[in-house]
């Protein structure tokens, strides 16, 4: 699914009305009807007060359509207009007149804080103050209005986007944004929903199809691609009856140092679980017995040094290499990395200490393998691309780094973003339970295993992050967020594959006596 900018969605709106001979008013009626249907299906005529706060633009017009339809169905509706300027959209004015024809209780035109209504905990709030066309923070008494709404404990539903939030630019005033419980967003989610600084205002959302021109949506490149189950199904490569272990490649995991051999164990197990036919581990001598015991399926190659890696020498031809997990930053290790980067032709996943070595040694950047997958956590990312002012600046710096070095760069988070040059892919799987030691080591093994099976770097990154998150979500279902460990994620990779094509469970009919 594509994520479009506010400008692109505005263009789609205009094109739809022109191309399909639909008025903006009809489009608004359709959008408002969809919101009403969502609400009515859940409320089923319940009589609690519903407070609708409308601006005076098209988002406010959407709110008026919803209010009118709720009133016609007998709901207890109270509508408030934030009357902060004389400029009103034409569609707003028409729907304002329709509301006045529908009920004797006309909307309250608010002009100051004195007119803010009392809101009880069991009430419902519908936020239709500002839409995606907002280009500056709410000012004057509008900010206190938003804070008044936020202080209530009533369920708050935002139409299209929480008021005060920009669709695809940095937030200026977090105190002037509606904290919605749920958002009904039109046609496609907005980029702001998936970034740390702004996503907290949109904990849950549903997408409402308002029938914008399908040709425009298909041909227009969005800001990003959202990766869900439907997309992941297309990535999967089924196995054939006469395949053998050689078909699925030979992963080499270069990992570990004294006290950190566990990182090598986790990455090796994950490479196997994701489907690599063979996995070898290159590790310091101190890791030999541990790896032979913990992962008997793997072949172990050891450095001449006991405690850390000094010379990455092997006599196999790996299909892919995953390197960096727990290797430390000793100068001998840095030299070994440089030699490997220069001579290896295998696709590569670069993680953890290898990334720190790169950020501290410019010579490594110059020999960074093309199309390598880099998997930094936030601190490692900052050391690679530099400080950023906000999430959008971070994305731009990540794109510039990816373009300059021809690498795939992961921005890990609640919604991990995979960056390749100017393209962004946003993952939808995972949960807070995955914020645990070793989760990143598991991901590096997953990506290496997928590369070994012939997935190209970008596809391996996008698919691997999806499966990693799915496995974590499956693990949390039985253990809860707090108890999930990296080994649980690895052990559920098989279930993650199965879930790709698993049909939703049908609810059993009630046994009525």
Rounded-to-5 percentages of helix, strand, coil across the chain: 45, 15, 40
Residue 508 above 60 pLDDT? no
Task: Enter the pTM of the model.
Answer: 0.94
**CA–CA separation, 294 and 501 (whole Å):** 31
Mean pLDDT of the 96-115 span: 94
CB burial of 7-25 (b: ≥16 within 10 Å; e: otherwise) equals ebbebbbebbbeeeeeebb
Burial class of 282 by CB neighbour count within 10 A (0 to 12, 13 to 18, 19+): buried
Residue with tokens 């937030």: 171
**The residue count for the chain:** 513
- The proportion of the chain whose per-residue pLDDT surpasses 70, expressed as a percent, equals 98
pLDDT at 81 over 50: yes
pLDDT band at 506 (very low <50, low <70, confident <90, very high): low
Is the pLDDT at 440 greater than 60, yes or no?
yes
In tens, the pLDDT along 242-292 reads 999 999 999 999 999 999 999 999 999 999 999 999 999 999 999 999 999
Residue 479: the pLDDT is: 96
What is the band of 155 on the pLDDT scale with cuts at 50, 70, 90? very high
Q: Where in the chain is the domain with CATH 3.40.50.10260?
A: 2-222
pLDDT on residue 7: 97
Q: What percent of the chain has pLDDT over 90?
A: 96
Task: Take residue 136 and report the two structure tokens written for it.
Answer: 């500056």
CATH 3.40.50.10260 fits domain 2-222: yes
- For residue 212, CA distances in Å to 9, 122, 209, 220 come to 9, 35, 8, 12
Average of pLDDT values for 330-342? 98
Mean pLDDT of 336-345: 97
Domain with CATH 3.40.1190.20 in the chain: 232-500
Is 511 a residue whose pLDDT tops 70? no
CB-based burial, 385-394: b 16+ in 10 Å, e otherwise: beeeebbbeb
Token pair listed for 413: 């988070």
d(CA 51, CA 127): 9
For residues 416-428, average pLDDT: 98
Give which of 277, 316, 318, 272 is closest to 291, Cα–Cα.
272
Average pLDDT over residues 351-357: 97
- Residue 171's closest CA among 144, 138, 127? 138
Kind of pairing, strands 417-420 and 408-411? antiparallel
End-to-end CA distance of the chain: 45
Containing 379, the helix (H) or strand (E) segment is: helix 378-385
Question: What is the b/e burial string over 156-165, where b = at least 16 CB atoms within 10 angstroms of the residue's CB?
Answer: bbbbbbbbbb
pLDDT band at 85 (very low <50, low <70, confident <90, very high): confident
Give me the chain's average pLDDT, please: 96
Question: What are 12-56's pLDDT values in tens digits?
Answer: 999 999 999 999 999 999 999 999 999 999 999 999 999 999 999
The confidence band for 503, taking pLDDT boundaries of 50, 70 and 90, is confident
CATH architecture of 232-500: 3-Layer(aba) Sandwich (3.40)
Q: What is the mean pLDDT of residues 429-450?
A: 98
Q: What is the pLDDT of residues 305-328, one digit of tens each?
A: 999 999 999 999 999 999 999 999
Residue 192's pLDDT band, with cuts at 50, 70 and 90, is very high
């Amino acid at each position: 699914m594509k994520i479009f900018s506010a400008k692109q969605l505005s263009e789609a709106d205009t094109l739809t009305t022109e191309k399909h001979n639909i008025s903006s008013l009809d489009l608004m009626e359709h959008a408002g009807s969809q919101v009403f249907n969502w609400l009515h299906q859940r409320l089923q005529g319940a009589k609690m007060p519903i407070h609708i706060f409308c601006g005076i633009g098209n988002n406010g017009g959407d709110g008026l359509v919803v209010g009118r339809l709720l009133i016609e169905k007998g709901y207890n509706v109270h509508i408030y207009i934030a009357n902060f300027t004389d400029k009103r959209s034409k569609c707003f004015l028409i729907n304002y007149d329709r509301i006045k024809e529908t009920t004797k209780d006309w909307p309250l035109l608010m002009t100051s804080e004195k007119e803010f209504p009392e809101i009880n905990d069991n009430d419902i709030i519908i936020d239709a103050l500002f839409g995606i066309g907002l280009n500056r923070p709410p000012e004057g008494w509008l900010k206190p209005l938003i804070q008044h709404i936020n202080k209530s404990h009533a369920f708050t539903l935002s139409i299209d986007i929480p008021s005060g939030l920009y669709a695809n630019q940095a937030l200026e005033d977090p105190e002037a944004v509606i904290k919605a419980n749920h958002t009904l967003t039109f046609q496609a989610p907005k980029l702001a929903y998936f970034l740390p600084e702004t996503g907290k205002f949109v904990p849950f959302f549903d997408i409402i199809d308002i029938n914008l021109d399908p040709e425009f949506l298909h041909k227009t490149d969005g800001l990003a691609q959202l990766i869900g189950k439907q997309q992941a199904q297309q990535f999967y490569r089924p196995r054939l009856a006469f395949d053998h272990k050689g078909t699925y490649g030979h992963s080499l995991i270069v990992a570990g140092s004294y006290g950190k051999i566990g990182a090598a164990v986790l990455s090796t197990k994950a490479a196997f679980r994701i489907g690599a036919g063979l996995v070898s581990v290159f590790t310091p001598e101190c890791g030999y017995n541990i790896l032979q015991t913990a992962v008997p399926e793997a072949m172990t190659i050891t450095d001449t040094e006991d405690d850390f890696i000094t010379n990455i020498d092997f006599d196999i031809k790996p299909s892919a290499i995953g390197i960096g997990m727990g290797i430390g930053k000793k100068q001998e290790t840095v030299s070994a990395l440089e030699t490997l980067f220069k001579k290896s032709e295998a696709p590569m996943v670069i993680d953890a200490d290898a990334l720190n070595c790169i950020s501290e040694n410019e010579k490594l950047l110059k020999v960074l393998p093309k199309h390598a997958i880099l998997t930094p956590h936030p601190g490692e990312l900052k050391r690679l691309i530099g400080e950023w002012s906000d999430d959008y600046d971070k994305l731009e710096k990540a794109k510039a780094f990816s373009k300059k070095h021809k690498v795939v760069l992961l921005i890990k988070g609640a919604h991990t973003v995979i960056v390749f040059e100017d393209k962004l892919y946003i993952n939808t799987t995972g949960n807070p339970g995955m914020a645990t030691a070793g989760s990143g080591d598991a991901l590096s093994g997953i990506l290496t295993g997928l590369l070994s099976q012939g997935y190209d770097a970008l596809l391996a990154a996008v698919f691997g992050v999806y499966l990693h998150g799915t496995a974590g979500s499956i693990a949390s279902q039985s253990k809860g967020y707090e108890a999930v460990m990296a080994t649980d994620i690895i052990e559920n990779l098989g279930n993650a594959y199965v879930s790709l094509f698993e049909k939703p469970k049908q609810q059993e009919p009630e046994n009525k006596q």
